[in-house]
Structure 1
Amino acid sequence: MAWLNRADLATRLLLAIVLVVLVGGATAWVVGAAVGPGLFHEHMLRTTGTTESATEHAEVAFSTAAALSLSLALVAALAASAVVSVVLAGRIRRSLAPLASAAHQVALGDRQVQVEAPGIGPEFDDLAAAFTSMAADLSRVEETRTRMLADLAHEMRTPVSVLGGYLEAIADGVEVADAATIGMLREQVERLARLSEDVALVTTAEEGRLPLDLRLVDLDEVVREAVAQQSGAYADRGVRLTVDSGAGAVVLADPDRLGQVVTNLLDNARRHTPPEGAVQVVVERQGEAVEVAVADTGEGIAAADLPRVFERFFRVDAARDRAHGGSGIGLAIALAIARAHGGTLTAASDGPGSGARFTLRLAAAPTSLDRTPDGRGGAASTA
């Protein structure tokens, strides 16, 4: 009966209906066979000494036997149907009771639930597995939300405290609202504004609501523009930045959003690479895809931290990163934008002190743009 345990609900209901029909048919046959001949014989004996013909008695015997057998068959079928329905309903109710209990637990806030497969069909087994998975996802979302709110409050605490402290000092006459003080206060306000914009952007992208102006984009050009924008900051920090482009590949993307991804990767590499270090950007074709790799010789990432580097507000070195002005959300934004384009963004590192490599991978468009007449593209450049 192992096949019955694997049967779906429709098959089980069909078998129940067939059982009811068979019981009714068998009852009709048994009653007809047991009652019909006796009634027929009795009516035939009554033909002696009466004016009724044998045919009339035979017809009465037949109709009586048929009516009685069909009536009994109907009663038996109804009883069988009721028994089968009660058994099946009870089986379904007992099987769904754990699911209902788990749903009640989730509604009360307890998301650490496990629902065993009821074993009454693959539909219910899939439902139990989906519910368990949903509860686990809700638990992870709740943990992420709680952690994100705590991190967001922590991020906002510093600029808000600075603003409040200086405003109070100015009001008490301890500080003077000169150009330097106003400039510092403006920086804190801009930091709060950037933080709110970044949170809104990554939330919109993760929910699939990020508007994209898709067009054919020369990826080499996007990378070179991002490198040019970052060259000054790299020079100030004393980090050497090189770019090896010329893949001549075209992707279907939003150039502004794609530039934001590369800029965030470059900004992250710069903040985690010490002076005299180096960051290299490589654009190359990989079959039907295009990859942009940003590799640095900086601090590196521990293996335990690699799965978390794209989480909001996660920092390998929180104190150091906050000192350099990072919001802790740049990589999360880059990942969300990459996924919105149907691409991937991955991180790799051999460990602390070994640098890190972030790779953006996008599908290449059917056409390509050659940057030079010989089709090799632009040469490597240094910023």
Structure 2
Amino acid sequence: MFRRRLTLVLALFALVMALAALLAAASLAVTERQVLRGRVASDIATGFIQLSAQKQRLRTWVAQTQQGAHADSGARAELLAAMQGTLQRLKGLTQQAIELDGRAEAREENLRRRETLAVLEQSVSALARAADQARALPPGSDAAQAWTELSRVFDMPQGHDVRKLIAENIARETAAVQRERAAADATLTGVRWLWLGAAAVLSASAMAAALHFGRALHRPLRQLSEGAQALQAGQLGHRIALDGQDEFAEVAHSVNALAAELERHRERESAQRQRLEEQVNARTRELADALASLRQADAQRRRLFADISHELRTPTTVIRGEAEITLRGIDKPAAEYKETLSRIVVTARQLGAVIDDLLAMARSDIDSLSLVREPVDMDELAAEALAQAGVLAARQGVRLGESPRRTGRHVVAGDPLRLRQLLGVLLDNATRYSRAGDQVDITVEAVQDLTQGPDGQDEPADLRVTVGDQGIGIPAHELPLVFDRHFRGAQARRHSPDGSGLGLSIARSLARAHGGQLQLHSSERGTRAVLTLPRIRAQDLLAPEPLTT
């Protein structure tokens, strides 16, 4: 069967690869050994050359000493140490050469190296004694005779011609280097041809196996692929016409049985799907309605929580601040306590009104707030709001301007609690988004649009309350969005991370509920919030009853 043939071929390939691995390991070991032998031979030749050069430098040092040139004794010690180190290195290399090459001629050559090194070791000892005894020549000494004696000491120590011995060894080691290099080149050439032949055999075998299995696999794989594509396209009636006893025929029979079973399941599922779709559509409509209701309820809940967190913060801060300032330090006069308690009562009333508003907002009634209208002196109300803002201003390090002058003519019809809440929002924003040392001002003035009074004189029809600061300002592209619920600009978030973006939205709603309007103007020098309210004319100040809307 096909599986057996494939297993046999794969086993043969595994065997060939194992043999190739063994051959590679053997080739690598032979090549590495040959290269190492060449390197050792080259190091030995270099060592003899270095030893000759070191001996010549020591000879020069002794000659300088005899001539009275004040040669450095440290240089002599370094030269002798270098010669001893070179001899020890040559001994080690000779021992390594013996371990790498066990041939008879190699053993004989290494024996000569050892004998030469023994002679050189004795000669170096003699040279060391001669260098230690080197002294400057007495005046009138024969320099030529001294040089001859020096040459005899360095060239023929203890009767051995060291110069000739070193020269012979350099020549012999140079020849050994050339011989080892030629042997390494021959080894590399043999390994290269060996691997080229092995690669050719493996390539031919792989190509033959690929050609055989390619022909054997083409037809069954094509039919199986066509059957799989037909099933993928939904043609469950397609059957694979593949007969025989091999593995591909077994797969074809299994796929055909699977297609028949899927075809039966499809018919049953089609009927069930239709019934389920009807049920799902009905449940989807019900869930969509329920989800819409939940989203609306969740949005109202989030909105209520956000409004509560925003609107309760300022009054509670004012109450706590008033109480802390009053209790701080020594006892104060009763009148001052009374005045503080009066401001706390006013703020508590404002807090109660805020809670009522939040409950109304929970019922989506912010646009239809219940206002108890009565004449309200905006000069007095602005002064009270400015006093309440003093606690937050002190905490922020912001300066508050003078209270508006009491004129008695800046009167509007409105709910004092709501208007105090509105001014509190504007002053809270101006103080919160100012830097330490900046100033916040509030002014009350009549608008120049005139209307005729009862005495026939023209009177301003509206009143303008302006809260100005020197703070961070609002970018021009954000001004149209500041009244949107929960909107906070990037610069505002960086300056004061806490906040919900609800204050200005509520303030505008309160302004509209009083028949007025709220506008913001901003630049790099700060922001101005302008509140415009209908002003009560002189004859209206005599109205006996407040109006409720």
TM-score (norm 2): 0.31
Rg larger in structure: 2
Q: Which has the higher contact order (CA 8 A, sep 6+)?
A: 1
TM-score (norm 1): 0.43
